[in-house]
Chain A
Amino acid sequence: DAGVIQSPRHEVTEMGQEVTLRCKPISGHDYLFWYRQTMMRGLELLIYFNNNVPIDDSGMPEDRFSAKMPNASFSTLKIQPSEPRDSAVYFCASSLMGVEQYFGPGTRLTVT
């Protein structure tokens, strides 16, 4: 099994630009999670999906952030417009039946 796949691994962009992060969960998993990790705040859950449906987006920082899951094998997290304070590592994780979660390698985002 390839595990959770995220792309790109690194993204550097200028303030105001749109950023799209991508995730392919483990095949057969029915939950997908987006997390953000920073030195100051640690790991924060942004949003999670169950069977492609967004269930809880209360962790999304503001309207500049949006996430979609058009099918069981693909999800995106979009930031528009991006700001320097969005610089962080963004992780995608997937789970079968919501128990243990398996994390992807993360996308390191730098907004200048």
Chain B
Amino acid sequence: AQSVTQLDSHVSVSEGTPVLLRCNYSSSYSPSLFWYVQHPNKGLQLLLKYTSAATLVKGINGFEAEFKKSETSFHLTKPSAHMSDAAEYFCVVSVLRPSGGYNKLIFGAGTRLAVHP
């Protein structure tokens, strides 16, 4: 079975300091992993994705994530937080089907990031 755990429900940082949002996953097969961001009253926007290529994945707005199979982790980082980064972030795991086609997304519970001046 596949599952995803976001280790922090809330993270608070000061503007200009690094961001770390933690995510652990469980998957019986080679997973695809995603981070989505949801700003208040907005839809979910894809930040970045890992699909078994390079383990360090760069996304939009300066975010990146590293896939660590040995630790079953896919933590999201950013060197310097900006006020506009305040939002909710979802770690998502998807299982590739050998036959191809739709991959069900398993969403984490979300981490709310607050950025203070």
| Same assembly | yes
Interface residue from A45, A55, A103 paired with B43 (Cβ < 8 Å): A103
Does B43 contact A43, Cβ atoms closer than 8 Å? no
- Would you call B68 an interface residue if the criterion is a C-beta within 8 Å of the partner chain's C-beta atoms? no
Q: Which stretch, B14-22, B23-31, B98-106, touches the partner chain A?
A: B98-106
Q: Tell me if A99 counts as interface (CB < 8 A to partner B).
A: yes
Interfacial chain B residues near A108, Cβ < 8 Å: 41
In the complex, are the beta carbons of B44 and A45 less than 8 A apart? Answer: no
| CA distance in complex: A42, B103 (Å) | 19
A103–B102 contact, CB under 8 A? no
Q: Which of B39-77 contact A (CB under 8 A)?
A: 41-46, 49, 51
Contact between chains at B46 and A106 (CB < 8 Å): no
The contact string, 1 if C-beta is below 8 Å from chain B, for chain A 25-64, is: 0000001000000000011010010100001000000000
Residues of chain A contacted by B44 (CB below 8 angstroms): 91, 93, 103
The distance in angstroms between the C-alpha atoms of A102 and B47, with both chains bound, is: 11
Q: In the complex, are the beta carbons of B46 and A55 less than 8 A apart?
A: no
A residues lining the B interface (CB < 8 Å): 4, 31, 42-43, 45, 48, 50, 55, 91, 93, 95, 97-106, 108
List, sorted by A's number, 14 A–B pairs whose CB atoms are closer than 8 Å: A42-B109, A50-B101, A50-B102, A55-B102, A91-B44, A95-B102, A97-B100, A97-B101, A99-B51, A99-B103, A100-B34, A101-B46, A103-B43, A105-B43
